[in-house]
Amino acid sequence: MPSRKRKRAPEPQPEDESSSARVRSLWSGTITFGLVSIPVDLLTAVRPRQTAMKLVDTDGHALGRQYHCSKEGKKLDYDDLVRGYETDDGKMVVITDKEFESVAPEMSADIELRSFVPLEQVPALYFQKPYFLAPAGKSAKAYVLLAETMQRTGRVAIGSFVMRGHEYLVAIVPDNGVLRLDTLRYADEIRTPETIGLPKRSKASAAKVTQFAKEIEALTHQALKIAELEDQDARKLQSLVESKQKERDDVIHPKGAEAAEDSEGEGAKVIDLMEVLRKSLSNSAVVRTAEASEPINLAERRAQREARSAPAKKKAPAKAKRKAPRKRARRS
């Protein structure tokens, strides 16, 4: 059967996480329950960890992904790929695009709320990823009313919505006047202590409980210190990167350099970070590629400096001669 051409999935674009930039909406739709309809925008509430790095070769060149057939060992193009569903007995069932679309959830722009329950009724293990819901259009009053009502009654809303062809089970939680949407794990995704072999609950001695209580009391604080939640690994990695930049141990591949490919299709050249900084400070600075950058000795640097200042000396030779006798007189 001839392979059907598939559209290449668009590469995800990194979000601008700067404090001054507004986070873009990932999805727009409507909260619906009963006769209520509230337009909202979905915004991500978390950002990726700063320790994420790209895989490159020893020269810093970005690596591309290739697909190979494990049986024949040949390289496959993206158009040769189809979806496969692995069964419990290890068999692979091929699913075509048309078949996959037939069972995909129906596209909808609604967050359909099914029930309102106390927050403590949703185990923490079910919460997966947080988002923020923002009022869209003229729904600010209805949005605030729903958030306030849910906050007073101590309820969270359980529902579902479809985004990017996938249906998500969600909980909408009021959070100080803001509605937070948390995607939930399905029940069959959750493991129990029994399934992973944890020991059964047993009774602890009163003396040991008292001892542990004293240890806990010694470390008890009235409020959580946000500093304890900071990513220390990311801080150390950032310090390492900054020190290597100062020592010029490595070079960077600046954003947008991919577009600087020549007509022969060669890869974009890597720009020396220090030369880029020099150019930003001086119009006369020269940017060199990392491959072409070589240290220049003092004699060459002095000759370049004299060559740049030579025209300025020729403009006022008479003035220089008048000042020379006065300097000699003071020295004697």
β-pairing verdict for 92-95 and 83-86: antiparallel
> What's 145's domain CATH number?
2.40.290.10
Three-class DSSP category at 102 = helix
> How many helices and strands (H and E) does the chain possess?
7, 11
Tell me what pLDDT residue 185 has: 95
Residue 53 lies in a domain: no
Tell me, yes or no, whether 9 lies in a domain. Answer: no
pLDDT at position 179: 95
Cα dihedral 289, 292, 293, 299 sign: negative
Contact 146/31 with Cβ under 8 angstroms? yes
Q: What is the pLDDT of residues 191-201, one digit of tens each?
A: 988 888 888 88
Mean pLDDT by 10 residues, the chain (332 residues): 46 43 82 92 85 80 85 85 88 86 81 94 94 90 94 95 91 94 94 88 90 93 82 80 74 46 42 44 43 50 65 49 48 43
Q: Which domain holds residue 40?
A: 27-47+108-189
3 state DSSP class of 207: helix
pTM of the model: 0.59
Residue 201 lies in a domain: no
Q: For position 308, what pLDDT does the model report?
A: 64
Whether 70 is in a domain gets the answer no
Token digits for 202?
């047993």
Q: Which alpha helices (H) appear in the chain, and where do they start and end? A: 97-103, 140-153, 206-218, 232-247, 273-281, 298-315, 317-331
The pLDDT of residue 304 is: 67
The pLDDT score that the predictor gives to residue 22 is: 63
Does any domain span residue 65? no
pLDDT of residue 131: 95
Among 179, 116, 123, residue whose Cα is nearest residue 153: 116
The number of domains in the chain is: 1
> Is 83 part of a structural domain of the chain?
no
> pLDDT at position 100, please?
81
pLDDT at 266: 43
pLDDT of residue 250: 58
CA distance 21 to 44: 13
Is residue 20 a part of any domain in this protein? no
Q: What is the pLDDT of residue 12?
A: 42
The pLDDT tens digits of the residues spanning 118-162 come to 999 999 999 999 999 999 988 899 999 999 999 999 999 999 999
Is 317 part of any domain?
A: no
